[in-house]
Structures are given as C-alpha cells and as structure tokens.
Amino acid sequence: MPFGGLREFIIFIPAILIALSFHEFAHGFVAYRLGDPTPKYQGRLTLNPLAHLDPVGTLLLLFAHFGWAKPVQVNPYYFEGDKKRGMMIVALAGPFANILLAYVGALLLSFMLREVLPFNGLVAVFLQALVQINLVLAAFNLIPVPPLDGSKILAGLLPGKTADFIYRMEQYGPILLMLLIITGTTQMIFRPIVAALAQIVFIATGISY
C-alpha cells in the first residue's frame, strides 16, 4: 500500500507493530508450550512491541515493505520428542500468526464493504495496511534462507545431514540475506508468495482479488 500522505503513514505504524509482535509472540509461545522456558526468561511471551522490535527490520518494513523483528531465541534441547520437528513447528508459528491476522483484517474489511459493519475510512485504511503488512511479513519469513523461518521449516522436512547443514548455515545467514536484499533477489522470491497468500485470504473472505 503506497503512502497517500501523512495520515496513511501514521496508520501504517501500528499495523507494523501488531504484525511484528504477534509474529514473535507466536514463536515464543509455541516454543514455551513445547517445553522451552527460554522465551519466558527473556521476556518474549508478551505482545508488547518493545520486546520484539529490531531497528533495521522495522525500518525496512516501513519503507521497503519487507523486514523482520528481533528473533526469539529457542533452545530445542528442552523440547520433548523430535527436536527437529519441534523447531519446524516453532518456525511455522510466526508466519501462521501473520496469515491469521491478515485473514481477520480482511474479514473485517469485507464486513465494512458489505455494510455488515459501519464503514469508516480510517479504519478501512488501517485494516488494509494490517492485511498487507502481515502478508508481506509471512511471505518474507517463508523464504528458505537462514535465519528466516522458511529455512527451519525446510530443515524440518529434510533428512538429518541436510537439515544439519542448513542449521550450520545460520551463522552466515545475515550476510547471505543482505546480499539477496541488495541484489533484489528477495523481491523476486517473496512477491509470488505474497500474491498466493493474498489470493487465499481474499477468496476466503469474499474480497475480489
């Protein structure tokens, strides 16, 4: 959603804060439910945006329309059962939370458009921003490049040695990710994911796409 003025810019900020907070809270909550106390000890089991913001990732979300939050630290050795599967579930939780928020935002917007709810221009702009930023955040994190969630999801589906290789690549992940961002490769990868997620959400809520 390109900014149409200061009003839209200001409305976009709370949408970003909500999206980032729910994404990281979902990671922490699922990890905690699987037995890892680390997110609780680090104060990440909260929807307070201040606990989750990453300065660079937040600025990119605001101005480049893709980005990230401060990652929740997870210790899979606390997980009961298959630790690789546990990491995959934790990784899935963040994008799933964003897709769910996008669905709720689109559903409320569809109710306004159908006059089930009273139409309010400011609220409609906010809901549009909420849908977009959550779809973008989900899609960006589904890119299978360390340290993004997509790499952990992919590792959870691959055999042990291949999965271990992906986990080891996390130390080089930020450098690789920045190279992909600078070259524009991330846009090529995640735009089709955004389009696919948007189509699913809009079809599910009855909004023409």
- Phi, psi angles (nearest 5°) of residue 3: -70, 130
User: Helix (H, G, I), strand (E, B), or coil: what is residue 184?
Assistant: coil
Distances in Å between the Cα of 180 and the Cα atoms of 46, 148, 167, 189 are: 31, 13, 19, 10
Helices (H), 42-82: 55-63
Which of the residues 8, 24, 80, 115 is marked catalytic? Answer: 24
Q: List, in order, residues 6 or more apart from 49 with CB less than 8 Å away.
A: 17, 18, 20, 21
Q: What are phi and psi of 178, to 5 degrees?
A: -65, -40
Residue 37: enclosing H or E segment and its boundaries? none
Query: Is 8 annotated as catalytic?
Result: no
- ω into 147 cis (within 30 of 0): yes
Q: How far apart are CA 23 and CA 19, in angstroms?
A: 6
Give the active site residues: 24
